[in-house]
Amino acid sequence: MSLRNYAKQTRHKKYYQDSDEPVNAFKPKSNPVMAGLKWLILMFLIGILAWILTKISLGIPAFSTLPTVYEVGNGVALFDRFNHHITTVYADRDSIPIPLAKMSSHIRHAAIAAEDHRFFEHHGVDPWGVTRAILTNVKAGHMRQGGSTITQQLVRNLYLDPQDRSAKRKIMEALLSVDVELNNSKSRILETYLNDIYFGRGVYGIERAAGTYFNKHAGALDIGESAFLAGLIRAPSKMSDPRYLDDALDRQHQVLDAMAEEGFITQEQADSVKAKKLVFRKGAAPTQPYPYYANYVVQLLKNQFSETQLWGSGLRVYTNLDPEAQNAAEKELNKGIETAPNGISQGALVTISVKDGGVLALVGGVGDYRLHQFNRATNPHTAGSSFKPFVYLTGIMDDALKPDTVLDDLPLTINVGFGQRYSPKNFDGRYLGKITVRTALMLSRNLCSIRIAQAVGPDKIIATARAAGITSPLNNDLPLALGASAVSPLELANAYATLARKGVFMPWQMIRQIDDNQGHKLQEIVAQPKSVFPSEPVLQLVDILQDVVNKGTGTLARLPNIAVAGKTGTADKARDIWFVGFTPDTVTAVWGGNDDYSEVRGNVTGGTVMAKIWHDYMTDFYKTHEPPTVAFDTPSVPFAKKISRVNPSVLKQIEDTEAGLNASESSNSGDGEQAANSEANTNGTEDEQDGAYQKIPDAPPPPEDPNQKPVTDGQTHTEPLQPQADGHKEETPAKAPEPQQEPLRAPEIHQPGPEPAPSLRGETPTAAPTSN
């Protein structure tokens, strides 16, 4: 043997043996503990591998993270402007999920005692619980305990078909239950379970169950009520039926005994509760918070997602809703319509942020939403004089109106063809003669609006309205100047927001962002400002609209130490009454009327009713929001302000209505605010000394109709335009488009049907065309 081999054999011999016996007669000593540990590790790894392969083969997700409170039931979770969860909207289930902390401890204990007394001990599946349930049920001779854990029941309801009783489903249920336990806390599991479980009578979740059976919130449930509701879980359809009330009460007693056995209550407490009569108080089905806002958001989402995507994926939708603004809007609108003159039964209110176009509040009606689900804030109503600012803006941009222009508030009869004539009236039946542009809009004189429309053409007015943000159909005729077309409060508020931004348009936005149920961003909606009007004409108009509030038809809307501009509107015998006003930071449109489009009799106008509601709402609004400390920018060349021969004491009596546009009417109908008194000069002149004025020219007369009947009510002609020097050099106003040569149609007043909901971003209009 070589020396090297001898040394190697000697080392092995010293390590392995204590004697001089041959090396091949000895083996290393085995360690039974280490061997057992190796086998355990191997079996564990094999089990894990088998578990993973089984889950893959059965299509079970890798990780089972339970839905949050607002995702239970795969509803659409809505968040407010400050990213706080406000409500979850469901397609077909009556449920109001709440956090576990808002549930009574008694209902938590009752559910555990009734359905899974080892809930805090097992890991999803409880073999001991199954064995115990079998023995208990055999002993009792009927079904007394269930073998499924709370986790298994939850998994079955959330992820599997409860009607499937196959072996595959049971295996999947067990694996998913373990997975859910590994990925979620016990509190999260119990919270989701109590929010998702069915309690009979069409309600899901403990909050709605508490309201339905006992007319209280889940946090106020006592021991007896909690035991009764927990007893319904096993057979909700049967136990909730009044015919089986005795069975339900027997089950309640079983739950009370189980609660005592588990130590949640004493047996004395259980016996005491059993001895008391359980009092049921049926509660009315509550509506979700902010139903008009929430349901219109869902309507917008339906334009973007399929039914499966919308209701089956747990979308998280971040809105622009401001809860404090919305609460104030609902309160003041309901109060204002309730105290309004007889004949006004409904209203709507919309508030938009000037800064970003966000819809802060939207109320589509008053009263019980379940009885009045029609959304009046997003459907059109005849605009009345609230549309006139766009008539005047068109005239300013087209150079038809200058700061020194004089308008004729005088009778006018227009041949509209086919033997018909159009004779618009002022509401008060009076005429102020020659007045400034500021006076004409401040007092909402109808004849002045018609003359402006004659000068610029209805098509240019439509282009201006479209650029501002109005998307509803607009009639291309002269009554358009009096607001004879219908618009929604939402789009009219947004059009006024364009004025508040000095001619910058932004689409209104109810939705800011949409995420999936894992928080991954699906869509982000960012305001895209677009300049559509030059600033100087808009500033000149806003300067006049401030006078509407300060001393015109909208004085009831004045706010102390806050700049306010706006316009009243009353249409077609007070069938629609408006006030649309804005401050430097918000725009709010308020509408009132009736769903059957019936007229309102008496002295009812936008200035007397809706301006008051606007004022009360904005007063509440600025109690919870920082009031603006800045005023509106002033124009370089404001329109003339001097008003003579108009008695200020009668300004509050001004009426703002487009009633009686039918040419056949000869009564004192038509729009306009009663502003003149007996001192008003009726011979077509008015003493105004505030500088030299330009007079707006008349539109060319239409071709003579040989079949037309002679005019009998004294048509008034105006003087030709006298050229005057224009000292305005700072900014050249943009002109509205040239009018198309087409015959004027007979006036019509009607209210079109609801328009389809716009896209999430709204409709982006084009800028108003200009001409040199």
Mapped to the 3 state alphabet, what secondary structure does 288-334 carry?
A: CCCHHHHHHHHHHHHCCCCHHHHHHCCCEEEECCCHHHHHHHHHHHH
Kindly state the tokens that stand for 317: 């939708």
Domain count, the chain: 3
In a domain, residue 742? The reply is no
In a domain, residue 768? The reply is no
Is the pLDDT score of 105 beyond 50?
Answer: yes
Type of residue at 116: D
Provide the CATH number for the domain around residue 649: 3.40.710.10
On whether both 435 and 563 belong to a single domain, the answer is yes
Which of 156, 177, 196, 159 is CA-nearest to residue 68?
Answer: 196
**CA–CA separation, 598 and 121 (whole Å):** 67
Is the pLDDT score of 646 beyond 50?
Answer: no
On whether both 564 and 435 belong to a single domain, the answer is yes
Look up residue 97 and give its DSSP letter.
-
On whether both 592 and 676 belong to a single domain, the answer is yes
Kindly state the tokens that stand for 350: 């919309």
In a domain, residue 314? The reply is no
Range with lowest mean pLDDT among 271-275, 298-302, 415-419, 523-527 = 415-419
Q: Which residue has the higher pLDDT, 243 or 159?
A: 243
**CA–CA separation, 401 and 635 (whole Å):** 15
Distance of CA 402 to the CA centre of its chain: 41
Count CB atoms within 10 A of the CB of residue 128: 10
pTM score? 0.67
- Tens digits of residue pLDDT in 491-500: 999 999 999 9
| Cβ–Cβ < 8 Å for 705, 417 | yes
Q: Which residue has the higher pLDDT, 151 or 49?
A: 151
On whether both 226 and 342 belong to a single domain, the answer is no
Which of 516, 680, 512 is CA-nearest to residue 74?
Answer: 516
Is the pLDDT score of 730 beyond 90?
Answer: no
User: Of 695, 710, 738, which residue sits at a domain end?
Assistant: 695
What integer pLDDT is reported at residue 648 of this predicted model? 44
The pairing of beta strand 76-79 with beta strand 316-319:
parallel
Average pLDDT over residues 94-98: 84
Average pLDDT over residues 512-537: 93
Q: Which residue has the higher pLDDT, 148 or 587?
A: 587
Is the pLDDT score of 690 beyond 50?
Answer: no
On whether both 49 and 105 belong to a single domain, the answer is no
**CA–CA separation, 69 and 206 (whole Å):** 12
What integer pLDDT is reported at residue 137 of this predicted model? 60
Range with lowest mean pLDDT among 232-236, 504-508, 532-536 = 232-236
Task: Give me the domain span that covers residue 32.
Answer: 3-58
In a domain, residue 103? The reply is yes
On whether both 247 and 188 belong to a single domain, the answer is yes
What integer pLDDT is reported at residue 727 of this predicted model? 32
In a domain, residue 72? The reply is no
Grouping H, G, I as helix, E, B as strand and the rest as coil, residue 625 is coil
What integer pLDDT is reported at residue 639 of this predicted model? 95
Is the pLDDT score of 301 beyond 70?
Answer: yes
| Cβ–Cβ < 8 Å for 693, 406 | yes
Phi, psi for 743 (deg, rounded to 5): -65, 145
DSSP notation for 469-520 = T--S---SSGGGGGT-SEE-HHHHHHHHHHHHTTSEE---BSEEEEE-TTS-
Q: How far is CA 664 from CA 441, 453, 704, 705, in A?
A: 26, 21, 20, 18
Range with lowest mean pLDDT among 100-109, 169-178, 208-217 = 169-178
Q: Which residues pair with 481 in a beta bridge?
A: none
Type of residue at 553: T
DSSP notation for 601-642 = -SS--IIIIIHHHHHHHHHHHHHHSPPP--PPPPPSSPPP--
Is the pLDDT score of 307 beyond 60?
Answer: yes
Q: Which residues pair with 346 in a beta bridge?
A: 593
Kindly state the tokens that stand for 681: 């000069």
What integer pLDDT is reported at residue 763 of this predicted model? 42
Range with lowest mean pLDDT among 422-426, 481-485, 704-708 = 704-708
* DSSP tally for the chain: helices H, then strands E: 22, 21
What integer pLDDT is reported at residue 507 of this predicted model? 97
**CA–CA separation, 77 and 86 (whole Å):** 8
- Tens digits of residue pLDDT in 735-755: 443 433 333 333 332 333 333
**CA–CA separation, 382 and 695 (whole Å):** 30
- Which residues touch 513 (CB under 8 Å, ≥6 apart)? 317, 318, 521, 523, 524, 525
User: Of 695, 717, 750, which residue sits at a domain end?
Assistant: 695
What integer pLDDT is reported at residue 50 of this predicted model? 63
On whether both 271 and 365 belong to a single domain, the answer is no
Q: How far is CA 100 from CA 87, 211, 379, in A?
A: 16, 16, 40
In percent, how much of the chain has pLDDT > 70? 71
Grouping H, G, I as helix, E, B as strand and the rest as coil, residue 591 is strand
What integer pLDDT is reported at residue 439 of this predicted model? 93
| Cβ–Cβ < 8 Å for 625, 422 | no
Which of 608, 658, 674 is CA-nearest to residue 340?
Answer: 608
- In the numeric block, the tokens 């706080």 are attached to 84
- Tens digits of residue pLDDT in 178-203: 888 888 899 999 999 999 899 998 88
What is the arrangement of strands in the sheet containing 346-353, beginning at the earlier edge strand?
359-363, 346-353, 586-593, 576-582, 565-571
On whether both 372 and 521 belong to a single domain, the answer is yes
Count CB atoms within 10 A of the CB of residue 523: 14
In a domain, residue 731? The reply is no
With bands split at pLDDT 50, 70 and 90, how would you rate the model's confidence at 159? confident
On whether both 636 and 684 belong to a single domain, the answer is yes
On whether both 582 and 686 belong to a single domain, the answer is yes
In a domain, residue 465? The reply is yes
Average pLDDT over residues 512-541: 94
Mean pLDDT, the chain, integer = 79
What integer pLDDT is reported at residue 731 of this predicted model? 32
Q: Which residues pair with 318 in a beta bridge?
A: 79, 513
Provide the CATH number for the domain around residue 106: 1.10.3810.10
What integer pLDDT is reported at residue 178 of this predicted model? 86
Q: How far is CA 394 from CA 188, 309, 405, 479, in A?
A: 60, 45, 14, 15
- Tens digits of residue pLDDT in 328-373: 999 999 999 999 988 899 999 999 999 999 999 999 999 988 778 8
What integer pLDDT is reported at residue 286 of this predicted model? 66
Is the pLDDT score of 5 beyond 80?
Answer: no
Dihedral angle at the C-alpha atoms of 159, 164, 167, 172, nearest 10 degrees? 0
On whether both 50 and 140 belong to a single domain, the answer is no
In percent, how much of the chain has pLDDT > 90? 52
In a domain, residue 393? The reply is yes
What integer pLDDT is reported at residue 343 of this predicted model? 86
User: Of 695, 728, 761, which residue sits at a domain end?
Assistant: 695
On whether both 446 and 548 belong to a single domain, the answer is yes
What integer pLDDT is reported at residue 146 of this predicted model? 56
- In the numeric block, the tokens 């505030």 are attached to 690
